[in-house]
Structure 1
Amino acid sequence: MNSLQSVDLNLLVVLEALLAERHVSRAATRLNKSQPAVSHALGRLRALLGDPLLVRRAGQLQPTARALELAPQLSEALHRMRQLLGPSRFDPATARRVFRLAMSDYGSAVLLPGLMRRLRRQAPGIDLMISQTGREGMLSQVMEGEIDLALAVCPDAPQGLHCQTLFQEEFVCVADAATPAAVELEAYLARPHASVALRPDMPKEVDLALAAIGRSRHVALVLPHWGPATRVVAGTDLVLTVARRILPARPEAEGLRVFPPPFAIPGFAFQQVWHPRRDGDAAHRWLREAIMELGAEL
């Protein structure tokens, strides 16, 4: 039995970061410590608790049964200590932090320019690392602590994650500028279509909406990125049915015509998703609030 006087309580903060990040380097970044210092602290924790705590499997650190048992007690203990010592303070003007965000190129195109302008103006010491994967991959990374925040369409996020809607999105059609301002369903279906999907076999909202009325379209082009999609259709007979906010600011200047879909397509909620373990992090909370404000502006 270790007496409290013999225990360095800073080790508990290191253990919290290691359990959240499951990666020594990322835990060191989170704690603003060197990697050797965190590795040394992990060695002391193992000796103190008589357990490996984190073991390497398949190239990743995985918590032991003892570590999983300790995690909720540790979180509660540190939460109470932080409450006792005063509210967490965060000054964006002086803070230094790296956040890992996951988003598609839709999220990057819609939110990232405004977010970076705000960060460079209000919090120049905050850096972002952006990754892209499918929806299921993003949610798994949030659960595992590999990313701090996911920005995505997540109607079926797992229980235990926090989801906050940033805005509601709707679909519009984009075609060459020579296209009429209103296109009937039969004319829409008679033309070839461009479609955006991370994988060609992924279900698409447009095709699901068409199937609901017993119709289908011919997709002549499937590409994985929203960015070039609108530029592809100019000068062709292609139609692109796309989320409105991905459009260029002046479509007509790029030889494009925008018109409403000739059938009902449900819109979607674009959300930010994070793990409750981040709730006590004042910097993380500030970032979420900044993104929420950007969503409201959009």
Structure 2
Amino acid sequence: MGPEIRVQALFRDRYLGVVRKGHPLDLKQDVTIEQYAAYGHVVAPYGRQTIDSLDAAIALSGLERTTVAVVPSFPAALAVARASDLVALLPASFVNTQPAAAVSVYAFELPVATEGFTVSQMWHPRLENDPVHRWLRQLVLRMCRQQVSLGL
């Protein structure tokens, strides 16, 4: 991404731990770092900074998190978590907008503090004044703000 690229922040997000309903961590009020590290994990190759800080915090407790599977996307990580005892690391906005997730998974706050992140849209300056592209950017911004205001 070059310095000329335009960036517009859409919303702030954070990662959650996600397990299938019926998993031993299901419905735990506060998942401890020991409980979190005791299970295998599935991750998508995004949020490397969060993953690294999470692993560092777990290591400070003398524990280690075992990544059993790396999948290409958040939907794939959710599918693996729903079908196994693995713990998925997923953005809250993704989990909260999946209709099937509401009945098939349990999402919980991570047992260590991690940085949130900003979801943004980007475009090249030559598209700045294109009416169709401008319409699309405004639509994306409006939909994201609507979802955030609904608490999703």
**Normalised by the shorter chain, which TM-score bucket?**
0.7 to 0.9
Give the whole-Å Cα distance in 2 for the aligned partners of 1:174 and 1:285. Answer: 36
Equivalent of 2:40, from 192, 206, 215? 192
What amino acid sits opposite 2:85 in the alignment?
Answer: D
Is the CA contact 1:205–1:265 (under 8 Å) kept in the aligned structure 2?
no
Moved over 6 A (4+): none
Q: Give the number of aligned pairs.
A: 137
Q: CA deviation at 1:160?
A: 1.1
Other-structure match for 2:99: 249
TM-score under structure 2 length normalisation: 0.79
Q: Mapping of 1:157-196 within 5 angstroms?
A: 158-178=2-22, 179=25, 180-181=27-28, 182-196=30-44
Q: Mapping of 1:55-134 within 5 angstroms?
A: none
Equivalent of 1:285, from 126, 130, 134? 134
Equivalent of 2:110, from 261, 267, 271? 261
Is the CA contact 1:164–1:272 (under 8 Å) kept in the aligned structure 2?
yes
State the structure with more CA Rg. 1
Give the whole-Å Cα distance in 1 for the aligned partners of 2:39 and 2:55. Answer: 17
Give the whole-Å Cα distance in 2 for the aligned partners of 1:225 and 1:192. Answer: 18
Structure 1 gap segments, 5+ residues each? 1-138, 140-157
1:223 aligns to 2:67 (yes or no) = no
Higher strand share: 2
Give percent identity, aligned residues only: 26
Is the CA contact 2:14–2:91 (under 8 Å) kept in the aligned structure 1?
yes
What amino acid sits opposite 1:222 in the alignment?
Answer: V
Higher helix share: 1
* Superposed CA offset, 1:224-273 (max 9, x none): 0211321211353211111012222353522x111110011211111111
* Superposed CA offset, 1:148-179 (max 9, x none): xxxxxxxxxx3111100111111111112232
The structure-2 alpha-carbon separation of the partners of 1:235 and 1:281, relative to structure 1 and needing over 3 Å to count, comes to closer
TM-score under structure 1 length normalisation: 0.43
Structure 2 gap segments, 5+ residues each? 148-152
What amino acid sits opposite 1:294 in the alignment?
Answer: M
Give the whole-Å Cα distance in 2 for the aligned partners of 1:175 and 1:219. Answer: 14
Q: Look up the SS of the partner of 1:209 in the other structure.
A: helix
